[in-house]
């Protein structure tokens, strides 16, 4: 780890510019889900405990460099104050005056950084202005680390910089899963389209021992092998690419697990009449909506023999029963193995988190990333500007 943490910094009496992600859902002026707020609390509390002054910087929505009143961060102040158990002050216009007035033990939230066009342009002048407000820079927003913005990239190079607790946990988990993992490593990649996960698959086949491909993506891989997938969701124009990925996996000695049996139905609806057939026996008028029990058993065997799991995307149409069976079974087993200390499990992506929560498995995974795009880009092997800036 080339980056520093809060433990490496002298925080007493220092103004700590802290980039956070509080881009939370709001309805009728009230925060409806404070998960992201809860996840930054350890960082804010540790800065306060060390005698530092947390100055929180964040974005909210996409105002595109203009002041949009309904995208003001003021709306999150009550929820943030309640979660921290203390009043959070707010700086809407004059950042400097608000920072100067900040006393020890107080927390300040700056207005939406994206109201300034310099934020998304990674403007050095805007970053320099922000730098005058603090003595130390702390990035606790891994979810924004794939963006080279003034508050995530340029600012980190102007002040002594470190990772906050959430960023530290995220980077440690991902480094453990893909950088220097315990082997064998298994990856589960699902979802609708191969085209959105090309770079991910290309990177993973060279780094993991077992690769499970599920969801609509699996149908494209089946079609690439000359199998008729009926009316299933599939990208037939991507079959050459799928064959290339399979060839690359074979060369890298990566075991690719595709469905050997599938659950098919004539309509995409909850509790639709369905049957389980061999993967190469999908009726012409049916669609594949889940992996079958034989495939689940193959996945279970690979899981039992793995030490590290990376999961992104469901194995079937997990939103509707009974086509959530494969996802639920694999998730429950991964959770069990993780709970028993036999598996390091890291998962991320919106659909993934929803699927694991639905299976009541998320709480036992080693680490769940809520970062979305940044998590995906890390898995693709890309350098994240916000992380690279911390490494100096």
Known binding positions for (2R)-3-phosphoglycerate? 36, 114, 147
Structure tokens at 25: 């859902």
- How big is the chain by its Cα radius of gyration, in Å? 23
The answer to whether 326 and 296 have CB atoms below 8 angstroms apart is yes
The answer to whether 317 and 324 have CB atoms below 8 angstroms apart is yes
Beta strand 344-348 with 161-163 is unpaired
* Element at 310 (helix H, strand E): strand 308-312
> Nearest CA to 226 among 265, 188, 279?
279
Euclidean distance between CA atoms 263 and 6, whole angstroms: 50
The catalytic residue among 13, 51, 96, 350 is 350
Structure tokens at 234: 């599939």
Per the listing, tokens 């399979």 go with: 246
Euclidean distance between CA atoms 312 and 267, whole angstroms: 26
The catalytic residue among 4, 19, 36, 53 is 36
The catalytic residue among 193, 248, 332, 358 is 193
Is 382 in the active site?
Answer: no
Is 176 in the active site?
Answer: no
Return binding residues for substrate. Answer: 21-23, 36, 59-62, 114, 147
Is 52 in the active site?
Answer: no
Is 134 in the active site?
Answer: no
Structure tokens at 307: 């030490």
Euclidean distance between CA atoms 83 and 185, whole angstroms: 37
Query: Could you give the residue numbers annotated as active site?
Result: 36, 193, 350, 373
């Amino acid at each position: 780890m080339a980056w520093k943490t809060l433990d490496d910094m002298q925080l007493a009496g220092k103004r700590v510019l802290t980039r956070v992600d509080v881009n939370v859902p709001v309805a009728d002026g009230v925060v409806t889900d404070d998960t992201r707020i809860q996840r930054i609390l350890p960082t804010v509390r540790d800065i306060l405990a060390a005698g530092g002054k947390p100055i929180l910087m964040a974005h909210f929505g996409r105002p595109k460099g203009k002041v949009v009143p309904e995208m003001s961060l003021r709306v999150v102040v009550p929820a943030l104050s309640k979660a921290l158990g203390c009043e959070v002050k707010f700086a809407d216009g004059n950042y400097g005056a608000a920072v100067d007035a900040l006393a020890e033990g107080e927390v300040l939230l700056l207005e939406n950084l994206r109201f300034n066009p310099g934020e998304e342009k990674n403007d050095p002048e805007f970053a320099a202005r922000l730098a005058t407000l603090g003595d130390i820079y702390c990035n606790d927003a891994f979810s924004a680390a794939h963006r080279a913005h003034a508050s995530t990239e340029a600012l980190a190079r102007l002040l002594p910089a470190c990772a906050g607790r959430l960023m530290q946990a995220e980077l440690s988990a991902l480094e453990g899963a893909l950088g220097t993992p315990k082997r064998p490593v298994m990856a589960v990649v699902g979802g609708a389209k191969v085209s959105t996960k090309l770079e991910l698959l290309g990177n993973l086949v060279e780094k993991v021992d077992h690769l499970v491909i599920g969801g609509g993506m699996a149908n494209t891989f089946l079609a690439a092998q000359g199998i008729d997938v009926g009316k299933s969701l599939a990208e037939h124009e991507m079959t050459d690419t799928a064959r290339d990925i399979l060839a690359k996996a074979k060369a890298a000695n990566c075991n690719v697990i595709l469905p050997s049996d599938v659950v098919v139905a004539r309509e995409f609806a909850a509790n639709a009449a369905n049957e389980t057939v061999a993967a190469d026996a999908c009726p012409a008028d049916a669609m594949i909506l889940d992996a079958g029990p034989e495939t689940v058993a193959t996945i279970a065997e690979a899981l039992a023999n793995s030490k590290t799991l990376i999961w992104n995307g469901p194995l079937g149409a997990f939103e509707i029963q009974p086509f959530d069976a494969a996802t639920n079974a694999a998730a429950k087993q991964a959770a069990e193995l993780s709970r028993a200390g036999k598996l390091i499990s890291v998962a991320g992506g919106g659909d993934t988190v929803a699927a694991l929560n639905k299976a009541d498995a998320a709480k036992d995974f080693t680490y769940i990333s809520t970062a979305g795009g940044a998590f995906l880009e890390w898995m693709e092997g890309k350098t994240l500007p916000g992380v690279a800036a911390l490494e100096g």
